């Protein structure tokens, strides 16, 4: 298990810096330098700001750059017209003009001095006149730094550089003021814990615990976006734990803290919450490093046992059962992800993985026929590679012998799937007769009966494997007779 790949804190260049000069000297974007010159020639200030400065100091700057300027949006539009390869104004109501130049995306926002009504997260947009006033309204000190690219002047009124070097998360104003202005910043805090391995200052944690109910002001879509970024970070377990410990999870994924079941003195079942966090870690370790983080797999790993609390039953004489927790859990996952406004395909994929994650445990008893293997593959469909990872990650026993036996058993199932797939093309299981042939043989018009016959033949195909044509026709006619359908004998041609 490659724990070290994802568990260690990153070694950032910033950890060895006491001054930003070395990192900023390496900052070279021709488009950004050209833009700075254009603004200076027009008598305006322009600063690289926020996450762009933070990421430059961390050695991870991408090609999306954020700027702040004293120029008003209409003037910004004039300055980039004819210079940029593309310009967009989707954020102009908030003072932002977007531009693209030589493959670099630039978002240029007029200095802001917003006020908030504290009832929603929508500010009353007011433009400011100084970079210092603009920075104090930002979410965290590590995002409240700016660079004058033309003069290579570093602006850090809130000691963001020191916080970055210590990997600490604090706010420029008090956390209470910051979170009252925009409660989504509490989710951003736990997201930075996951993405960057930062540690929130005690006053930030206290404010989140105190103000967690303010998150109800935020739309589900915005919360979902932060949750997805958190789960796709380098340290998602830390982010989830912080959500649970501060109470934010009660407004985001209440099913997760609900898994903290009281464990009786005989430890008749695992700590479901801690088990789920370990499964999340282990599922991540099974992802292909060259691919992007798998949001569906990570959601399924975190939520696979959420059906256990409502299905827990104490068995007379000792013991605990969680009968059908995978069925209940799939329904719960579907309901929660809908509430968070996830796309339909994500919802259905996660719910199906939760539903299927327990099925493998019947395989180890040696009772699976080839038919059962076919159904396992068919029910998983395109999710089969993810299901393989989820089932393997779900083994968290500390008994090394038992863990090795489970992995060997699953190896055997995968080998059996590969053998049957090679013989029967399991990826495209279809009935031995298609809809047109069913209609011809039974003399049926298009309609529900044809679909019913098709499903019967598909089940037969899963049970018995490929049939000869004459055998398939005989089975279809037998089924039709049981249904009271009189086949058209002339259809035999």
Q: Are residues 423 and 469 in the same domain?
A: no
- Closest residue by Cα to residue 41 from 85, 71, 86: 71
- Residues 474-490 have pLDDT tens digits of 888 888 888 887 755 44
Asked whether residue 157 falls in the same domain as residue 182, the answer is: no
| CATH number for the domain harbouring residue 14 | 3.30.460.10
- CATH number of 308's domain: 1.10.3210
- 24 shares a domain with 160: yes
Integer angstrom CA distances of residue 198 from 22, 168, 327: 22, 5, 37
What is the model's pLDDT at position 270? 66
pLDDT at 423: 66
Is residue 116, in this structure, part of any structural domain at all? yes
- Considering the domain architecture, whether residues 305 and 339 belong to the same structural domain is answered as yes
pLDDT value, residue 68: 96
pLDDT of the residue at 12:
47
pTM higher than the cut 0.85: no
8 A C-beta contact, residue 373 and residue 417: yes
Co-location of 160 and 174 in the same domain: no
Specify the pLDDT at position 17: 47
Q: What domain range includes position 234?
A: 168-252
CATH of the domain at 175: 1.10.110.30
User: What is the rounded CA–CA span in Å between residue 223 and residue 201?
Assistant: 22
Eight-state DSSP code of residue 45: -
Over residues 437-454, the pLDDT tens digits come to 888 888 888 888 888 888
Q: Are residues 201 and 324 in the same domain?
A: no
Is 96 domain-assigned?
A: yes
Looking at the fold, whether 51 and 157 belong to one and the same domain comes out as: yes
Low-confidence residues of the chain: pLDDT under 50: 1-18, 264-267, 489-493
Residues 18 and 141 in one domain: yes
**What pLDDT does residue 5 have?**
38
pLDDT at position 123 is 63
Give a yes or no: residue 233 inside a domain. yes
Considering 113, 131, 166, which residue would you say is the last residue of a domain?
Answer: 166
What is the DSSP pairing of strand 168-169 with strand 146-148? unpaired
Spatial separation of the C-alpha atoms in residues 197 and 190, rounded to whole Å = 10
Of the three residues 410, 428, 446, the one that is the final residue of a domain is: 428
Residue 299, pLDDT score: 98
Question: What was the pLDDT predicted at 78?
Answer: 95
- Domains in the chain, number: 4
Judge whether 263 lies within some domain: no
Q: Is residue 179 part of a domain?
A: yes
Which value, in Å, is the radius of gyration of the alpha carbons in the chain?
29
Examine residue 268 and state whether it is found in any structural domain, yes or no: no
Q: In this structure, are 365 and 391 located in the same domain?
A: yes
Cα separation, 464 vs 477, whole angstroms: 17
Asked if 381 and 484 sit in the same domain, the reply is: no
Look at strands 313-314 and 115-116 and give their pairing: unpaired
**Considering only CA atoms, which of 398, 325, 380 is closest in space to residue 358?**
325
What's phi and psi for 109, nearest 5 deg?
-120, 135
For residue range 137-162, list pLDDT tens digits in order. 899 999 999 999 888 889 999 999 99
Residues 311 and 422 in one domain: yes
Rounded CA gap, 487 and 476, in Å? Answer: 10
pLDDT given at position 488: 55
CB 34 within 8 A of CB 101: yes
Q: Is residue 174 part of a domain?
A: yes
pLDDT value, residue 118: 58
Q: Are residues 138 and 206 in the same domain?
A: no
Task: Say if 12 falls within a structural domain.
Answer: yes
């Amino acid at each position: 298990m490659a724990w070290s790949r994802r568990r260690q804190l990153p070694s950032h260049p910033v950890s060895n810096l006491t001054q930003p000069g070395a990192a900023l000297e390496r900052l070279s974007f021709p488009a950004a330098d050209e833009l700075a010159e254009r603004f200076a020639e027009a008598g305006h200030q322009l600063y690289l700001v926020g996450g762009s400065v933070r990421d430059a100091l961390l050695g991870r700057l991408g090609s999306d750059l954020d700027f702040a300027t004293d120029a008003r949006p209409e003037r910004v539009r004039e300055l980039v017209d004819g210079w940029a390869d593309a310009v967009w104004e989707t954020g102009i109501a908030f003072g932002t003009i977007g531009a693209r130049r030589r493959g670099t995306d630039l978002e240029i926002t007029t200095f802001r001095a917003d006020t908030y009504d504290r009832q929603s997260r929508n500010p009353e947009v007011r433009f400011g006149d100084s970079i210092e006033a603009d920075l104090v309204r930002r979410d965290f000190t590590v995002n409240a730094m700016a660079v004058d690219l033309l003069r290579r002047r570093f602006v850090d009124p809130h000691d963001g550089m020191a916080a970055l070097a210590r990997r600490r998360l604090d706010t420029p104003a008090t956390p209470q003021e910051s979170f009252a202005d925009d409660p989504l910043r509490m989710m951003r805090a736990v997201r930075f814990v996951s993405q960057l391995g930062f540690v929130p200052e005690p006053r930030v944690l206290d404010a989140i615990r105190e103000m967690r109910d303010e998150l109800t002001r935020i739309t589900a879509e915005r919360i979902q976006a932060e949750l997805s970024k958190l789960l796709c970070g380098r340290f998602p377990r830390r982010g989830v734990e912080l959500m649970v410990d501060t109470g934010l999870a009660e407004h985001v994924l209440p099913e997760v803290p609900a898994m903290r079941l009281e464990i009786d003195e005989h430890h008749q079942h695992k700590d479901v919450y801690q088990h789920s966090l370990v499964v999340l870690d282990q599922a991540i370790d099974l992802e292909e490093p060259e691919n992007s983080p798998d949001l569906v797999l990570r959601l399924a790993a975190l939520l696979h046992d959420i059906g256990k609390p409502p299905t827990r039953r104490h068995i007379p004489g000792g013991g605990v059962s969680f009968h059908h927790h995978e069925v209940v859990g799939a329904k719960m996952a579907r309901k929660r992800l809908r509430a968070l406004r996830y796309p339909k395909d994500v919802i259905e994929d996660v719910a199906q993985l939760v539903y299927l994650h327990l099925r493998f445990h019947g395989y180890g008893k040696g009772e699976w026929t080839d038919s059962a293997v076919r159904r396992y593959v068919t029910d998983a469909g395109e999710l089969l590679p993810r299901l393989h990872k989820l089932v393997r990650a779900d083994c968290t026993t500390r008994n090394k012998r038992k863990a090795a036996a489970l992995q060997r058993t699953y190896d055997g199932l995968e080998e059996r799937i590969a053998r049957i797939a090679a013989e029967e093309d399991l990826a495209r299981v279809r009935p031995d007769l298609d809809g047109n042939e069913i209609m011809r043989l039974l003399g049926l018009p298009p309609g529900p009966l044809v679909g019913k016959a098709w499903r019967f033949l598909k089940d037969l195909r899963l049970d018995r494997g490929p049939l000869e044509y004459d055998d398939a026709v005989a089975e279809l006619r037998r089924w039709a007779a049981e249904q009271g359908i009189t086949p058209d004998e002339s259809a035999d041609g």
